[in-house]
């Protein structure tokens, strides 16, 4: 299967990065190379792009897609949380722009055996990096009922989290839960029939929650933002596309803190804490996809782009 992934908010992102032909850029979530192709096409022979992804299939697909620009691209297989330290090892001193396109790609969702989607009956996996030891199967079968409740409540924001966790615990006490459709049936049974009519697919929120836990997605995001902003050159920009409210909240509060890190009480006439602003938030409100884009790519509906510029 080809790594078919439609790049969300493509024009808006490329515009937001304000690419300098001789600049140095990082695409921390390379995927199939869609955004990177357009970044690389704007670089001169003196510019360079580093592409990072933890997914082996993405690396293979992006390497092929970006062949025309191979002299100005370096591709690294790793999680973006390690991107800054990896680039420092390569002697990079700073970046003129960084892009993160978060969440799961269309390719990952549609590759049945990856187990990301509740639409196909397959093994419970959901790992973005198949070198990781813990998959969705271990989470579903080995986490305590209380841990499952916390994950589904916090990461899935599902009001039936308690009941879903209870049903999972009861089902696995009889036999291990092996497949996506087994999990679907358990979740369905935990949600009242009248609520199943309106809220979309009953498994959507739980699958999102398990995937986030499996790949430590929110922790990785929290642990990356300050060091990425720090690594930008003056005038460099960090552009982040999120797909659900939890990610967006983390990005919004991090950008706000980096713009205004002062911790002095509001009644103080002057700042004495010594915390200096790292830059400014370019996007006061998130940049959203157009109606046309949503029409062409339904998965772009929940996308939000936020941009920060280093001072």
The verdict on residue 141 lying in a domain is yes
Please tell me the distance from the alpha carbon of residue 24 to that of residue 20, in angstroms, as a whole number.
Answer: 8
The verdict on residue 89 lying in a domain is yes
CATH number of the domain within which 165 lies: 1.10.150.170
Same domain, 102 and 229: yes
Q: Identify the pLDDT of residue 5.
A: 56
The verdict on residue 113 lying in a domain is no
pLDDT digits (tens, 9 = 90+) for 248-271: 999 999 999 999 999 999 999 999
Same domain, 206 and 237: no
pLDDT at 29 over 50: yes
Same domain, 226 and 299: yes
Q: How many CB atoms are closer than 10 A to CB 239?
A: 26
Please tell me the distance from the alpha carbon of residue 238 to that of residue 146, in angstroms, as a whole number.
Answer: 37
Q: Report percent pLDDT > 90 for the chain.
A: 92
pLDDT at 1 over 50: no
Q: Which has the closest alpha carbon to 52: 71, 73, 79, 72?
A: 79
Residue 65 binned pLDDT confidence (cut-offs 50, 70, 90): very high
The verdict on residue 117 lying in a domain is no
Mean pLDDT of the chain: 95
The verdict on residue 124 lying in a domain is no
pLDDT digits (tens, 9 = 90+) for 236-246: 999 999 999 99
Q: Average of pLDDT values for 217-237?
A: 98
Give the residue with greater pLDDT, 106 vs 232: 232
Last residue in a domain, options 162, 189, 214: 214
CATH number of the domain within which 88 lies: 3.40.50.150
The verdict on residue 101 lying in a domain is yes
Residue 189 binned pLDDT confidence (cut-offs 50, 70, 90): very high
Q: Identify the pLDDT of residue 233.
A: 98
Same domain, 175 and 254: no
Query: In Å, how far are 60, 99, 243 from 9, measured between CA atoms?
Result: 23, 12, 12
How many distinct structural domains can be found in the chain? 2
Same domain, 96 and 228: yes
Please tell me the distance from the alpha carbon of residue 169 to that of residue 140, in angstroms, as a whole number.
Answer: 9
Last residue in a domain, options 186, 214, 242: 214
Give the residue with greater pLDDT, 42 vs 4: 42
Q: Identify the pLDDT of residue 115.
A: 95
CB 258 within 8 A of CB 308: yes
pLDDT at 4 over 70: no
Same domain, 273 and 195: no
pLDDT digits (tens, 9 = 90+) for 164-173: 999 999 999 9
Inter-helix orientation angle 180-190/161-174, to 10°: 130
Residue 6 binned pLDDT confidence (cut-offs 50, 70, 90): confident
The verdict on residue 114 lying in a domain is no
Last residue in a domain, options 214, 240, 258: 214
Residue 179 binned pLDDT confidence (cut-offs 50, 70, 90): very high
**SS3 for 308?**
strand
Residue 192 binned pLDDT confidence (cut-offs 50, 70, 90): very high
Give the residue with greater pLDDT, 194 vs 88: 88
Q: How many CB atoms are closer than 10 A to CB 267?
A: 5
Q: What does pTM read for this prediction?
A: 0.94
Same domain, 143 and 265: no
Same domain, 168 and 204: yes
Q: Which domain holds residue 158?
A: 133-214
């Amino acid at each position: 299967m080809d790594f078919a992934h439609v790049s969300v908010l493509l024009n808006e992102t490329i515009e937001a990065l304000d690419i300098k032909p001789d600049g140095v850029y990082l695409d921390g979530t390379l995927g199939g190379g869609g955004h990177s192709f357009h970044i690389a096409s704007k670089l001169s022979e003196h510019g360079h792009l580093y592409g990072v992804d933890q997914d082996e299939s993405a690396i293979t697909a992006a390497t092929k897609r970006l062949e025309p620009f191979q002299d100005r691209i370096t591709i690294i297989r790793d999680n973006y949380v390690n991107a800054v330290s990896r680039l420092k090892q390569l002697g990079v001193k700073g970046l003129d722009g960084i892009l993160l396109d978060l969440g799961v790609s269309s390719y990952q969702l549609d590759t049945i055996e990856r187990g990301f989607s509740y639409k196909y009956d397959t093994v419970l996996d959901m790992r973005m990096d198949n070198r990781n030891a813990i998959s969705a199967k271990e989470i579903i079968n080995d986490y305590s009922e209380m841990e499952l409740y916390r994950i589904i409540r916090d990461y899935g924001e599902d009001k039936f989290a308690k009941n879903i966790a209870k049903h999972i615990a009861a089902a696995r006490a009889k036999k291990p839960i092996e497949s996506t459709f087994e999990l679907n049936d358990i979740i369905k049974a935990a949600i009242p029939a009248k609520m199943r009519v309106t809220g979309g697919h009953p498994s959507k929120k739980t699958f999102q929650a398990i995937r986030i836990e499996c790949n430590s997605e929110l922790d990785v995001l929290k642990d990356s933002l300050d060091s990425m902003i720090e690594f930008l050159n003056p005038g460099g920009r960090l552009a982040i596309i999120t797909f659900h409210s939890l990610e967006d909240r983390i990005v919004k509060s991090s950008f706000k803190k980096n713009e205004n890190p002062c911790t002095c009480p509001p009644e103080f006439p002057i700042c004495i804490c010594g915390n200096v602003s790292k830059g400014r938030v370019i996007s006061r409100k998130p940049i959203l996809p157009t109606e046309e884009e949503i029409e062409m790519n339904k998965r772009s509906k929940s996308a939000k782009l936020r941009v920060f510029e280093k001072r």
